[in-house]
Amino acid sequence: MKKIGFVAIIVFCMFLQMISVPKSANAAAAASIDVSVVLHIGDLINLSAGYPSVIWTVTELNGNATDKAAVTSTGVVTALKPGKIKVIAAASDGTNYRGEILITILGEEEKPSAVLNGTVSVSAGESFDLIYGLSHVAGGIYAQDVTLTYDPAKLEFDSAVSLKDNAVVVVDISKQPGKVRILLATLGEEHANAAYGDLIKLHWKVKPTVQPGPVEILLQHVIVSNGSGVETQLNTKNHSQVVVKAASVNKQLLLDLIAQAQEKINNGVEGTLPGQYKKGAKAVLQGAIDAAKAVADNASSSQQGVDDALSALRAALQAFADSIIPSMPGDQNGDGKVSIGDIAVIAAAYGKSNKDPDWDQYKNCDINGDGIIDVADLAAVARILLDEK
């Protein structure tokens, strides 16, 4: 950390002495004067109020709290982040005396750097791109030797494509497990300043078995050369972030089947008559529905878990359908017995066949299943009726 010279301290001291003359808050505000000090991150300045007792604070220019600088109770200011702030010395003895100083904090000097950029969220098995480029270079770079490293158990490097066609080209690429080396060239004097900003797009792929979480790609080192062959190793900045997200789970089929199953229960009737469900069948299906709902509502459910729940609910629905009490053979009107009324139902449908558009309404009267309702169907029910007598 650097300490600022005594001149700035004297200026600030004189400034506070000047504005401490007024006897009211309004007069003090009217007498305010901007005194500015320039610091760099890490610099210290020891301020003195020239007043017996003051309280020191540091704020944004609008008076809000700030983290760009800190001040001690004795007036020592530490520059922390780039920006403009003001330091305030206010009298603590009940008077309205107050003084301010404006401080401009500058960041670290930017150096020529190679940069890897890109923030992506990608599923296992999917592809993604990152961008390589140069920043704060003066120009005149004709060749670059770029090395990146990565975890070969999680990622695959595919290719590199120039973003500045006919100016900066990919000369060659060396691929090794966990390491890729790329040679770039700038073509001719007319493109001497082309090697700046985003230069190449890097294509990658996440391996199918990778678990959710961050994966790392590092711009390991970069050597550049000017047209005279003088080589320079650049600083590298990794501003990329790759996160493998959990595979999306499709629950729609399960949700649809849950709705269908619930409707079956709502419309179903338990009892002992034909067409009714056996007692207890609805409770069994409801249990299967509740189990399927638990999987559907769980944000952590995997696709395999959803598929298993879907299969289980389908089986439960089939078992529920199988629990329907079958109709008595020949009972066409559903009254639980075979009588002359059943013969009448068939007689009313006499002559209908599977070629008629309304066949679905009458096909249950086709007792022998030959596709037509005729005397044979009437005779079949008559035999059942007579046998029961």
Which DSSP helix (H) or strand (E) runs through 171? strand 168-176
Taking residues 216-230, report their average pLDDT: 94
Of 41, 37, 72, nearest in space to 58 by CA: 72
- Alpha-carbon span 60 to 67, nearest angstrom: 9
Helix axes 375-388, 340-348, angle to 10 degrees: 180
What is the pTM (predicted TM-score) of this model? 0.46
pLDDT band at 20 (very low <50, low <70, confident <90, very high): very low
What was the pLDDT predicted at 150?
Answer: 97
Q: Cα dist. 13→2, 10, 37, 46 in Å?
A: 20, 5, 13, 11
Q: What backbone phi and psi angles, to 5 degrees, belong to 123?
A: -90, 160
The pLDDT mean for the chain works out to 85
Task: State which of 59-68, 322-331, 358-367 shows the largest mean pLDDT.
Answer: 59-68
Residue 3 scores a pLDDT above 90: no
> Per-residue pLDDT tens for 171-202?
999 999 999 999 999 999 899 888 989 999 99
Residue 234 scores a pLDDT above 90: yes
Q: What is the CA radius of gyration of the chain?
A: 42
pLDDT band at 325 (very low <50, low <70, confident <90, very high): confident
Taking residues 104-118, report their average pLDDT: 84
What was the pLDDT predicted at 24?
Answer: 28
> Which residues, other chains included, contact 132 with Cβ-Cβ below 8 Å and sequence gap of 6+?
114, 115, 116, 117, 146, 160, 182, 198, 199, 200, 201, 202, 219
pLDDT band at 388 (very low <50, low <70, confident <90, very high): low
Within its chain, how far is the Cα of 47 from the centroid? Answer: 48
How many alpha carbons fall within 13 Å on the CB side of residue 331?
12
Question: Percentage of the chain with pLDDT > 90?
Answer: 52
> Per-residue pLDDT tens for 296-324?
999 878 888 999 999 999 999 999 988 88
- Alpha-carbon span 284 to 296, nearest angstrom: 19
> Per-residue pLDDT tens for 119-172?
999 988 899 999 999 988 877 899 999 999 999 999 999 999 999 988 999 999
> Per-residue pLDDT tens for 66-107?
999 999 988 889 999 988 999 998 888 878 888 888 888 887
In DSSP notation, 205-218 reads: EE-TTPPSEEE-EE
The answer to whether 90 touches 55, Cβ cutoff 8 Å, is: yes
What was the pLDDT predicted at 109?
Answer: 63
User: CA angle, corner 362, sides to 361 and 364, nearest 5?
Assistant: 110
> Which residues, other chains included, contact 135 with Cβ-Cβ below 8 Å and sequence gap of 6+?
110, 112, 113, 115, 196, 197, 237
Q: Cα dist. 124→120, 216, 305 in Å?
A: 12, 14, 18
DSSP code at position 292: H
The β-bridge partners of 57 are: 88
- Alpha-carbon span 202 to 179, nearest angstrom: 13
pLDDT band at 115 (very low <50, low <70, confident <90, very high): very high
pLDDT band at 239 (very low <50, low <70, confident <90, very high): very high
Residue 327 scores a pLDDT above 80: no
DSSP code at position 275: T
Instruction: Extract the tokens encoding 229.
Output: 């062959």
In DSSP notation, 119-156 reads: EEEEETT-EEEEEEEEES--S-EEEEEEEEEE-TTTEE
